[in-house]
């Protein structure tokens, strides 16, 4: 998810992906056990890893910070 977040943040505002990300969240009732929304999940992941959205613009730094080794 953090890799996708970096991709979307670096896109210019006129791209569809960026515009959809900027749309205000609509309060939707969801079933038990489901995520509240993608933004809240990404915000939590950023806080857990002590990252901020401004780090996204340096691609090499971002790639190194979010890299997870292959478990195999």
Residue 72: inside a domain: no
Residues 6 or more apart in contact with residue 56 via CB below 8 angstroms:
5, 6, 9, 10, 62
Residue 71: inside a domain: no
Q: Which domain holds residue 49?
A: 2-23+33-66
- Tell me what pLDDT residue 14 has: 82
- Tell me what pLDDT residue 34 has: 62
Q: How do the pLDDT tens digits run along the chain, 72 residues long?
A: 888 888 888 888 788 777 766 665 555 566 666 656 777 788 888 898 898 888 889 988 888 888 877 666
**SS3 of residue 3 by DSSP:** helix
Number of folded domains that form the chain:
1
Residue 28: inside a domain: no
- Tell me what pLDDT residue 41 has: 82
- Tell me what pLDDT residue 7 has: 83
């Amino acid at each position: 998810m953090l890799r996708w977040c970096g991709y979307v943040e670096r896109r210019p505002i006129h791209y569809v992906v960026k515009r959809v990300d900027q749309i205000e969240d609509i309060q939707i009732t969801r079933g038990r056990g489901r995520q509240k929304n993608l933004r809240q999940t990404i915000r939590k992941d950023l806080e857990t890893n002590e990252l901020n959205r401004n780090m996204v613009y340096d691609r090499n730094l971002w790639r190194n910070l979010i890299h997870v080794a292959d478990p195999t």
